[in-house]
């Protein structure tokens, strides 16, 4: 988990360094992730495909579409507000997952509601500070929150898919769907997916290796051993981790007044994750 935390903490800062379009970054990250896991599916976990029908992959496809929407919203926010603020807001995914579950009839414990309120207050504090910075920074906050909402859909659909599929089967279908959706979006808005400099290709490779393979793959690996609550809380360490990495790589620090808001968001999401355990809700974050 320590390696995974370091991996996802590199995601935001490294993405902010890339000059290539955000759709291209997200496309190659997911396409490479699917390609890396395909040999695992076709060799070690090939037997898990026996007896499966096409309709049983539908939840994985839905998860992939939500994941594409997540990246399309969150990645642009990294160039509009600070990496630390964007990362803090996008880790509110468990908040939106809990609200989605509540809308479907699941009763939420009091701790979850307390965490929801605290996270909302924290997000409001961050947005209030960014209003004084620029409207662009405020718009970046909004995109980061939209990315978290879409990630909530990804988590809920993914949780359903993994009831039937092995992790590699789910990930290959989900990442492939995400990559195809991003490629289609890039075609529509005429954003190139190739033709970048060597520096950008190296950064995209580093993002894929650190965030996609070391980060999310390792978290999926330990999920069955330590449980979703511990993994969800560990993922929150990405917020201070991304802040430190952004400070070193970008020389970028968030406004001092925004720090209490970030702490409130992290504390609120932590309460939601802990409370979600008793309600049997998936509590993950996605970046």
Q: What is the pTM of this model?
A: 0.87
What pLDDT was estimated at residue 136? 92
H or E element at residue 159: helix 135-161
The whole-chain average pLDDT of the chain stands at 86
Degrees, nearest 5: CA angle 195-198-201? 75
Q: Is the pLDDT of residue 213 over 60?
A: yes
**pLDDT tops 80 at residue 181:** yes
Residue-wise pLDDT tens digits, 134-180: 899 999 999 999 999 998 888 888 888 877 888 788 889 999 999 99
- Find all residues with CB under 8 Å of 112, minimum gap 6, and list them: 98, 271, 272, 275, 276, 279
Give 236 or 10, the one with higher predicted confidence.
10
Predicted confidence at residue 278, as pLDDT, reads 63
pLDDT score of 45: 78
Q: What percent of the chain has pLDDT over 90?
A: 38
Structure-token match 């033709």, residue found: 195
- What is the average pLDDT across 80-102? 87
The token duo for 33 is: 């992730």
* Residue 93, pLDDT score: 85
Nearest to 99 by CA among 89, 107, 90: 107
- Residue 16: strand, helix, or coil: helix
Sign of CA dihedral 175, 178, 184, 185: negative
Between 239 and 53, name the one with better pLDDT. 239
| Phi and psi based region of residue 285 (left: phi greater than 0; alpha: psi -120 to 50; beta: remaining) | beta
Q: Rounded to whole angstroms, what are the CA distances from 57 to 157, 164, 174, 180?
A: 11, 9, 9, 16
Q: How confident is the model at residue 199 (pLDDT cuts 50, 70, 90)?
A: very high
What contacts 103, CB < 8 A, 6 or more positions away? none
pLDDT digits (tens, 9 = 90+) for 24-66: 999 999 999 899 889 988 888 787 877 777 777 888 999 999 9
User: Residue 275's pLDDT is what?
Assistant: 79
Confidence label for 5 from pLDDT (cuts 50, 70 and 90): confident
**Residue ranges per structural domain of the chain:** 2-279
Q: Is the pLDDT of residue 281 over 70?
A: no
Contact 229, 277 (CB under 8 A): yes
Instruction: Indicate whether 267 pLDDT > 80.
Output: yes
Confidence check: pLDDT of 3 > 70 = yes
Categorize the per-residue pLDDT at 282 as very low, low, confident or very high, splitting at 50, 70 and 90: low
pLDDT at residue 2 above 60? yes
């Amino acid at each position: 988990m320590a390696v995974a935390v370091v991996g996802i903490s590199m995601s935001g800062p490294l993405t902010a360094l890339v000059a290539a379009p955000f759709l291209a970054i997200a496309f190659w990250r997911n396409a490479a992730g699917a390609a890396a896991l395909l040999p695992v599916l076709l060799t070690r976990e090939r037997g898990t495909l026996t007896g499966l029908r096409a309709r049983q992959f539908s939840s994985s496809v839905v998860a992939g579409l939500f994941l594409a929407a997540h990246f399309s919203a969150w990645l642009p926010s990294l160039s509009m507000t600070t990496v630390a603020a964007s990362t803090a807001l996008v880790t509110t995914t468990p908040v939106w997952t809990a609200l989605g579950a509540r809308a479907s009839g699941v009763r939420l414990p009091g701790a979850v509601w307390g965490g929801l309120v605290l996270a909302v207050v924290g997000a409001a504090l961050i947005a209030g500070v960014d209003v004084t910075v620029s409207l662009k920074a405020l718009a970046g906050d909004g995109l980061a929150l939209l990315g978290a909402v879409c990630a909530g859909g990804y988590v809920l659909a993914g949780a359903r898919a993994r009831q039937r599929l092995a992790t590699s089967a789910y990930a290959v279908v989900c990442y492939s769907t995400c990559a195809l959706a991003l490629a289609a979006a890039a075609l529509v808005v005429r954003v190139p997916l190739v033709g970048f400099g060597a520096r950008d290709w190296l950064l995209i490779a580093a993002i894929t290796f650190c965030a996609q393979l070391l980060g999310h793959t390792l978290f999926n690996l330990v999920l069955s051993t330590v449980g979703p609550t511990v993994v969800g809380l560990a993922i929150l360490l990405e917020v201070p981790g991304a802040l430190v990495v952004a400070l070193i790589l970008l020389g970028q620090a968030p406004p001092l007044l925004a720090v209490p808001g970030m702490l409130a968001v992290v504390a609120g999401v932590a309460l939601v994750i802990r409370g979600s355990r008793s309600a049997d809700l998936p509590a993950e974050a996605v970046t």
